[in-house]
Chain A
C-alpha cells in the first residue's frame, strides 16, 4: 500500500464522516428551531424523489423518454405496483423482473 494513497483514503474518510456527523455536532449546542423541524419533515420525500426520478429519466446522464429506456418502463410498472399493493418486496421483485426481462429480451 502506497503512503500517498493511504493519505487520500484517510482524508476521504474524514470528510465523509464530517458530513454524516456534522449536523449532530452543530445542532447539539443550539437545538432545533421549530421552522427548521417543519422543513426537515419533508427531507425524506425530497431525497427519495431526487434519488428515484433521475435514475429513471436519465439513466445514462441525459433525459431519455424513449421506449428503449428500460429504467423508465420498469419504473412505471414498479410505481403502479407500489401504489396498488403497498408492498416493498413485491414492488422490487416485479420491477426487477421487468427490468431483467427487458434487458435479456433486448426489447
Chain B
C-alpha cells in the first residue's frame, strides 16, 4: 500500500502537467465534431495523449477512414514497445492480470517515473501501479473537465502549463548523467530527437532517438567492459 501511495505522490508534478493536455483534449474533441461521450470514451479506452490529439485533428479535418486513423495510432504508439521491452524483465515475473493492468496504463510519463524509482530503490510493481493509474484518472477527469468547460478555455496550452512535464523529466534525467556512457547516450538522443522532430512526421523522433541512442549506449558499454 505504501508503494501505491508513493507512486501516486511522486506523480503529482506530472499530473499537474497532464491536466492542461487533458483539458485541451476535451476541448479539441468537441471542436472536431465528436460528441462529449465519444471524446470521453476515447480518453478512457485509448489513454494516449499524442495519438488522441493527432487522430482528433484528422477527424476534424474530415479524415474518417478507420484503417488510416487506427494505423496512425499504431505508429505514434510504437515507442511503447521499447518501454515495454525495457520493463519486461520485471513485469514478466508478475501474474498476468497485473501485467495487463500495468501494460494498459503504460505511458511515457509513468515509464519515466517508474524507471527513476527503479534506479533509486529497485523496481516495485505497486509503485508503477500507483503512478500509472493516478495518471490515468488525471487524464480521464481532465478530459471530462475539458468537455465541460468546452469553449470557455480556448487554449490551455497558451498559458505554458505544459512546461511542467519537461521540467519534471529534467529532474529525472540530470541525476542519470553521472557516467560518460550516459552522457553520450543523452547527446546522441538530443541530436537525433531535434533533427527528427524537425523533419520526421508525428512522434517518430522519439523512436529514432530512442533506438539510435540506446544502441550507442550498448556498444559503448561493451567496449568499456572489454577494456576492463
Instruction: Please determine whether A82 and B197 come into contact, CB atoms closer than 8 angstroms.
Output: no
Among listed B122-130, B137-145, B147-155, B215-223, interface-contacting one: B215-223
- The reply to whether B174 and A82 contact each other, CB–CB distance below 8 Å, is yes
B218 with A78: CB separation less than 8 A:
no
- How many residues of A are in contact with the other chain, CB < 8 A? 73
- The total of Cβ contacts below 8 Å across the A-B interface reads 280
- In the assembled complex, the Cα of A99 lies from the Cα of B168 at a distance in Å of 13
Chain A residues positioned under 8 Å from B161 (CB to CB): 96, 100
Do B69 and A12 touch (CB < 8 A)? yes
Residue pair A24, B103 in contact (C-beta under 8 Å): yes
B residues in contact with A52, CB < 8 Å: 166, 169-170, 173
User: What interface size band does chain B fall in?
Assistant: 35 or more
Q: Which residues of B contact A24 (CB under 8 A)?
A: 84, 88, 91-92, 99, 103
* B100 and A21 contacting across the interface, CB-CB below 8 Å: yes
Is the Cβ of B190 less than 8 Å from the Cβ of A53? yes
Instruction: Give the residues in chain A near B168, CB-CB below 8 Å.
Output: 88, 91-92
Interface set, chain A 8-59, CB cutoff 8 A to B: 8-24, 27-28, 32, 35-58
Pick from A1, A35, A41: contact of B38, CB below 8 A.
Answer: A1
Provide the residues of chain B in CB contact with A32, threshold 8 Å. 88-89
Q: Is the interface of A mostly helix, strand, loop or mixed?
A: helix
With a CB–CB cut-off of 8 A, which chain B residues contact A50? 189, 192-193, 205-206, 209-210, 213
* Distance between B200 CB and nearest chain A CB, rounded to angstroms: 11
**The 9 nearest A-B residue pairs measured at CB:** A42-B217, A23-B84, A95-B167, A39-B218, A49-B189, A50-B209, A46-B213, A11-B70, A54-B197
13 A-B residue pairs with Cβ-Cβ distance under 8 Å, sorted by A, are A15-B74, A19-B79, A20-B84, A23-B83, A42-B213, A45-B176, A47-B111, A47-B189, A75-B170, A78-B167, A99-B160, A100-B159, A100-B161
